[in-house]
Structure 1
């Protein structure tokens, strides 16, 4: 029995290893959620709106504090553990293997839906449009619109707040700042963030209708609430 229990523990550890997280299957894709049907095209590069949004990025570049820069750099990471500051000390991967695997799929869903839209619109990033922009986060040259980080932050926030409605306000505030930090970091325009919030909401609404999502959501929710003592 002891050897059997050890084998189960080893299998569980392998099942939720970081390497496998990268291979998580998305809950849906752009074939089912075509963002070009939900979002208007991004502003043109030479439009008044883009020029104003570029001005916001440049203003933040000279007004952001070291603390703001540090938070923007930290939020460049795309995973649900960025919500730990509002979820408390029990919110950690080693305590939540089922929850962790579930959110690996949630994060993978963002890329599967958003990347095709980015590739289609190909909006230049602020630093690609103006040499004056100096991002403090990791440079990305993929399409700027919509913001993938904001999409996944909004999506994770909605799903997580449905698991812990007692913290809904704090969770959604955290999700909002997750998107804002992309502007502060100098890697996105305001309209990219706004589109990401719409995209995350649309994706959440769609996948919550699916049976596979509902089944895994229930198990992840139960594990999380038990870990949090709720």
Structure 2
């Protein structure tokens, strides 16, 4: 009986070890922690509250508030969702979670890496959102409890776009344009200032560059890229062909 118990225990340990990467993916374990990249030392500070720059940015938000069409509002509300599938329109109809399990798990972890890096910067600067700065601003998306600078959505959108464009260099221009629209829709929604968006784009690029230095990220990236390109009917890529694009 003791022998059987030991065998059962060994089997359970083996199963738990084998399933660890899958569990990490399902739980969205971040590739990066706050210690891996100090955005507050790399981003410029936000505009000072009450400054001319801040008031100019408020004026832009208010202009958009009175000129945005129902279609613009609907798109901004749809883009309030943070996931890679917001790029389906430029990738194609085969770009679906149920068809791409490796890519799905991979981007969950990529997105999970954004918050631990942007949250400390938000807390440092404690920059108010437009509706907190002026009662005239009426956002059309769910309000957030976090501070405004840098924009987490702009960071996430840029981060996803850089990584996805590296998988699909044939569609790089379209992917990056979609990321720009995704970020700008936070202005349309009335939930961010222009400087928040610009800082988010820079933050997303910096996070992507940092991720590319990690062996675990690169291993998962290659597997997800191969799955995606096969599903889209595109030729496989090597590191050399990726650099030549």
Q: Give the TM-score, by structure 2 length.
A: 0.85
How many equivalent residue pairs? Answer: 214
Q: 1:112, CA displacement in angstroms?
A: 1.2
Residue of structure 2 in register with 1:175 after alignment: 179
Pairs within 5 Å for 1:54-133: 54-133=58-137
Structure 1 residue runs of 5 or longer lacking an equivalent are 1-11
Residue of structure 2 in register with 1:208 after alignment: 212
What CA RMSD, in Å, does the superposition of the two structures yield over aligned residues?
1.5
Pairs within 5 Å for 1:2-41: 21=26, 23-41=27-45
Q: Is this contact kept in 2: 1:153–1:175, CA < 8 A? A: yes
Q: Give the TM-score, by structure 1 length.
A: 0.90
Q: 1: distance between equivalents of 2:173 and 2:45?
A: 30
Q: 1:141, CA displacement in angstroms?
A: 2.9
Residue number among 187, 191, 195 corresponding to 2:195 in the alignment: 191
SS at match of 1:114: helix
Residue number among 134, 150, 156 corresponding to 2:154 in the alignment: 150
- Structure whose alpha-carbon radius of gyration is higher: 2
Structure 2 residue runs of 5 or longer lacking an equivalent are 1-18, 235-245
SS at match of 1:226: helix
Q: 2: distance between equivalents of 1:89 and 1:40?
A: 39
SS at match of 1:142: coil
Q: 1: distance between equivalents of 2:57 and 2:195?
A: 8
**TM-superposition CA deviations, 1:128-184 (whole Å, max 9, x none):** 010110000111131100000000100000000000000000000001111000000
Q: 2: distance between equivalents of 1:185 and 1:192?
A: 13
Q: 1:228, CA displacement in angstroms?
A: 0.7
Residue of structure 1 in register with 2:239 after alignment: none
Instruction: Decide which moves more: 192-201 or 134-143.
Output: 134-143
